[in-house]
Structure 1
Amino acid sequence: MKLAALQLQASGDRTETIGRAADLIDDAAGQGARILLLPELFAVPFVQPEPDLEYFELAERLDGPSNRMAAERSRQHGMTIVSSIFEAADVPGVYYNTACTFVAGELRSVYRKSHLPFSNGFPEKFYFQPGGSEPEVVDTGETGVGTIICYERHFPELSRIVALRGGSVLCVPVASASAPMREVFQLELRAHAVFNGMFVICSNRVGKEGVKDYFGLSAVYGPDGDVLAEAADGGDGVAVAEADLSLVELSRRRRPFLRDRRPELYGRLTKMGPTA
């Protein structure tokens, strides 16, 4: 099957941005993509360093315009699309950073970002309530797909959960503009692929937004950590890569990290603060 990472610059016009995203999805589908990932909060500008009360006006419901487009294109092309939105919850004043997985037009998973930064110019705790559920794995009929969101790539426990739940493809929508993070960006993503024996799709924003300059590097990684396809530098685009799913099982046999885990030794990981 083919996997696709969509890279996009968000303008101040949500409708225009969604239209460009739809065209790129059509392009990826024309290349045979079966699973496609959109960037974090793809349809609107991302948060700036200073908290802004007006930013909440960009929030939308789960059935808002961003997800309606993703659902429609998922149905039209018979593909799996992972969308990412600034979600306005049913409870007034509650907002989430949310990823939604559509399979052939059907909403199959809603995952809310549980690890939120307030550093490096990303005051996300000001805007979003953290989700309270571990990543799910969606059976697309062809493979298992799980999603973690941006900052969560720094927490290897989450991608390991996706692997343990049977996932073969990890989706990581991001909004990454930090110069220090660029130095380790692909290193981290390659590591997730290798230590879990899975394919990884990462979709980033690109271009200037306020004081931030998003660096792209949207790509598809193989279970050996290889970069299978990468979007062109500096603009909108899609990276489409052929994924031989048999390599997931082969990788896990060659490097049996899941087999050799010792959960009985890891209790310290779930305790707060220093322990003796």
Structure 2
Amino acid sequence: MKLAAVQLRATDDRRETVGRAGDLLDEAARQGARVALLPELFAVPFVQPDPDPDYFELAEKLDGPSNAMAAERSRRHGITVVSSVFEAAETPGVYYNTACTFVRGELRSVYRKSHLPFSNGFPEKFYFRPGGAEPEVVDTGETGVGTIICYERHFPELSRIVALRGGSVLCVPVASASAPMREVFQLELRAHAVFNGLFVICANRVGKEGVKDYFGLSAVYGPDGDVLAQAGDGGDGVAVAEVDLGLVAASRRRRPFLRDRRPELYGRLTAME
């Protein structure tokens, strides 16, 4: 099967940005992608270093225009689309950074970012309430897909949960613009692929937004840590890779990290002190 990472430049015009995102999903489907991932909060500019109360005006319900487009393209092409939105919850004044997985147009998973930064120019705790559930794995009929969001790639426990729940594909929508972080960006993603024996799709924003310059590097990684496809530098694009899902089981036999875990020794990881 084929997996696709969508790389996108966001503008102040949500309608125009969502339209371009739809065109990129069309291109990914044309190239045969069965799973396509959009960047973090793809339809709107991302947060700037200084908290801005006006930013809340960009939030939308789960059935808003961003997800409506993603669901429509998922249905039209008969594929899985993972969309990321600035969610205005049903409870007034509550907002989430949310990833939604659509399988052939059906909403199958809602995952809310649980680890939120307030550092390096990303004051996300000001805007979003943290989610309270571990990542799910969605059975698409072809493979198992789990999602973690951006900052959460720094927490290996979450991708391990996806592997333990039977996931073969890890989706990571991101908004990454930090120059120092660029040096370890792909290192981290490759590590998630290797120590869990799964495929990783990472979709990043690209281009200048305020004081931030998003560096792209949207890509698909294999269970051996190889970069299987990467979007071009500096603009919109799709990275589509043909993958052999049999490599997931093969890599886990060759590197049996899941078999050799010792959870009885890991109590300190969840201790409150």
Normalization by structure 2: what TM-score? 1.00
User: What are the residue-to-residue correspondences of 1:224-239 with 2, within 5 Å?
Assistant: 224-239=224-239
Deviations 1:51-79 (A, max 9, x none): 00000000000000000000000000000
Distance (Å, rounded) in 1 between the aligned partners of 2:243 and 2:150: 22
Which residue of structure 2 lines up, in the alignment, with residue 212 of structure 1? Answer: 212
Query: Which letter does structure 2 place at the counterpart of 1:233?
Result: D
Match of 1:174 in 2: 174
Q: 1:272: how far off? A: 2.5
> Are positions 1:153 and 2:159 aligned together?
no
How far apart, CA to CA, are the structure 1 residues paired with 2:117 and 2:66? 24
Question: Matches of 2:152 and 2:137 in 1, distance apart?
Answer: 16
Which runs of 5 or more structure 1 residues have no equivalent in the other structure? none
CA distance in 2, matches of 1:180, 1:164: 31
- The match for 2:58 is 58
Whole-angstrom CA distance in 2 between matches of 1:28 and 1:257: 33
Between Structure 1 and Structure 2, how many residues are aligned? 273
Measured after TM superposition, the shift of residue 181 of structure 1 is 0.6
Rounded to whole Å, the distance in 2 between the matches of 1:232 and 1:271 is: 43
Q: Please name the residue that 1:125 is paired with.
A: 125
TM-score normalised per structure 1: 0.99
**What residue is the counterpart of 1:101 in the other structure?**
101
| Cα distance, 1:213 vs structure 2 | 0.2
Where does structure 2 lack aligned partners over 5 or more consecutive residues?
none
Q: Secondary structure at the match of 2:34?
A: strand
CA–CA distance in structure 2, aligned partners of residues 151 and 100 of structure 1: 17
* Cα distance in 2 for residues equivalent to 1:100 and 1:150: 14
Number of the residue aligned with 1:32: 32
The aligned amino acid for 1:203 is A
Distance 1:37 1:185 in 2: 17
Deviation sequence 1:239-266 (CA, Å, 0-9, x none) = 0000100000000000000000000000
User: Residues 4-47 of structure 1, C-alpha deviation per residue, up to 9 Å, x if partnerless?
Assistant: 00000001000000000000000010000000000000000000
Task: Give the RMSD, CA atoms, in angstroms.
Answer: 0.3
The CA distance in 2 between the partners of 1:236 and 1:136, in whole Å, is 29
CA deviation after TM superposition for structure 1 residue 271, in Å: 1.1
CA-to-aligned-CA distance 1:210-229 (integer Å, 9 cap, x gap): 00000000000000000000
Quick check: 1:185 aligned with 2:180?
no
Q: CA deviation at 1:133?
A: 0.1
- The 2-side partners of 1:191 and 1:67 are apart by 30
- The whole-number CA distance in structure 2 between the counterparts of 1:20 and 1:268 is 46
Moved over 4 A (4+): none
> Amino acid of the residue matched to residue 220 of structure 1?
V
